[in-house]
Amino acid sequence: MYNSIDVPLFITIEKEALFNVKRILEKANLFINNPVIVTDKGKSYDYAKIVGKRLKIKNDRFIFVSDNTYEEVKRVERFARSLKSDFIIGIGGGKSLDIGKFACYRYGGYFLSIPTLPSHDGIASPVASIMIDGKRMSVGASMPVGIIVDIDVIKSAPKRFLYSGIMDIVSNISAINDWELAYRKGYEIKYNGFSKAIAFSAAESVLNYEDKNIYKEEFIKILLNSLVLSGIAMEIAGSSRPASGAEHNFSHAYDLLYPDNQFLHGEKVGAGHLLVSFLRDKNEYKKIFSCFKSFEILEELKNIFHDEDKIFESLKKAKDLRKDRYSFLNEIPFDERIFRSVVKKVKKDIFSF
Ligand SMILES: [Zn+2]
């Protein structure tokens, strides 16, 4: 059996990386001739301007995206094609990277990822989250050739975005449980122990990090490395299985039911992880809860748990959301009384801190 795996050539996480982008690319033996920059009109544009200046990329090679829509992907693809670009450089939080790597996948160019927020594991994953016909879909995308992270940029991100990244990476513990379960029961054909080991270690290194000061340089490196490793685990698995199980189904259900919600991906995933682990394994629940507590994430989670009904409805919907993604929630019958009491208990735990 042959499995083709695409992994990035390099990952650089350092202070003032944006100002040193030229040196970083040269050191990696990467010579970009004809790039375009995908970014947004927010704060990322300031960062993109630094990169543009250092690499002598003119302003007319910048394209600004506003939403993760298929139309935007096609617009970026047309732009890159018309300029015969060899590289698409994505600079931003979620949407610029999602659109950039999906456009690259369709176009056939190379992708360079410069994340400005540490809020999810899509920084270097072969999956992009795109709205197609009004529905949020996970689609196949290009793995980046390289990833450049500027520690100073991450340090200026509000803590909520770091919390989101922590919860997204820790959720691998839940996803792996579901992957193993689905494989054992014959609902999943593909299972890869190497991918599991990477996804698991990535989660554990954040989970077990002693000093909970999230803005410490050492922790930022651990978090970013882990988020990238999670993406590589997905590439090896050939699916998002090692990083997406019932807790991600909960997040997708929440988005489907309440599409205008303003919660971050990791916040919905973290909420889902607490609920699912409460039902599945109290030890896992305790471990996750104490991790969130020590990182002082519980205060943030109070916002999403405030509306108990929305949490309950999403948990109910998560059960049958993806038929192709068998999880622990498929193992248990729906019982309104039990589901409501789980929501109440988890909420009570969160609000008692
Ligand atoms: Zn995720």
Confidence at residue 134, expressed as pLDDT on a 0 to 100 scale: 83
Beta bridge partners of 89: 37, 112
What predicted TM-score, i.e. pTM, was given to this entire model? 0.95
Contact 26, 256 (CB under 8 A): no
C-alpha 317 – ligand 1 centre gap (Å): 18
Q: Which DSSP string corresponds to 126-147?
A: SEEEEEETTEEEEEE-PPPSEE
Nearest to 24 by CA among 48, 64, 55: 55
Confidence at residue 320, expressed as pLDDT on a 0 to 100 scale: 86
C-alpha 171 – ligand 1 centre gap (Å): 8
C-alpha 330 – ligand 1 centre gap (Å): 20
Two tokens at 304? Answer: 């999403």
Domain 10-155, CATH: 3.40.50.1970
The model's confidence at residue 245, banded by pLDDT at 50, 70 and 90, is very high
Q: Which DSSP string corresponds to 293-346?
A: HHTT-HHHHHHHHT-HHHHHHHHHHHTTS-TTS--GGGTS---HHHHHHHHHHH
Confidence at residue 27, expressed as pLDDT on a 0 to 100 scale: 96
C-alpha 66 – ligand 1 centre gap (Å): 21
C-alpha 165 – ligand 1 centre gap (Å): 8
C-alpha 351 – ligand 1 centre gap (Å): 25
Statement: residue 1 has pLDDT above 60: no
**Binding-site residues from annotation for NAD(+):** 94-98, 116-119, 125
What's the rounded mean pLDDT across residues 325-336?
Answer: 93
What's the rounded mean pLDDT across residues 154-161?
Answer: 96
C-alpha 248 – ligand 1 centre gap (Å): 7
Model pLDDT for residues 91-115, shown as the tens digit of each residue: 999 899 999 999 999 989 999 999 9
List, in sequence order, every beta strand (DSSP E) within the chain: 10-14, 35-39, 62-64, 87-92, 110-115, 127-132, 135-140, 146-150
Statement: residue 2 has pLDDT above 80: no
CA distance 311 to 250: 9
The model's confidence at residue 49, banded by pLDDT at 50, 70 and 90, is very high
Confidence at residue 212, expressed as pLDDT on a 0 to 100 scale: 86
C-alpha 232 – ligand 1 centre gap (Å): 13
Q: What is the mean pLDDT of the chain?
A: 95
What's the rounded mean pLDDT across residues 43-52?
Answer: 97
**Binding-site residues from annotation for glycerol:** 121, 168, 248, 265
Q: Where are the domains of the chain?
A: 10-155, 159-351
What's the rounded mean pLDDT across residues 211-222?
Answer: 94
- Name residues with Cβ closer than 5 Å to ligand 1, which is an ion: 168
What's the rounded mean pLDDT across residues 251-276?
Answer: 96
Model pLDDT for residues 163-199, shown as the tens digit of each residue: 999 999 999 999 999 999 999 999 999 999 999 999 9
Q: What architecture (CATH level 2) is domain 159-351?
A: Up-down Bundle (1.20)
C-alpha 128 – ligand 1 centre gap (Å): 11
**Binding-site residues from annotation:** 94-98, 116-119, 121, 125, 168, 248, 265
C-alpha 22 – ligand 1 centre gap (Å): 31
Statement: residue 136 has pLDDT above 60: yes
Contact 155, 295 (CB under 8 A): no
C-alpha 305 – ligand 1 centre gap (Å): 19
* pLDDT above 90: percentage of residues in the chain: 90
What's the rounded mean pLDDT across residues 47-58?
Answer: 97
CA distance 269 to 251: 5
Nearest to 215 by CA among 158, 296, 167, 155: 155
What's the rounded mean pLDDT across residues 227-251?
Answer: 95
C-alpha 53 – ligand 1 centre gap (Å): 33
Domains 10-155 and 159-351 share a fold: no
C-alpha 252 – ligand 1 centre gap (Å): 10
The vertex-288 CA angle with 321 and 335, nearest 5°, equals: 40
C-alpha 324 – ligand 1 centre gap (Å): 17
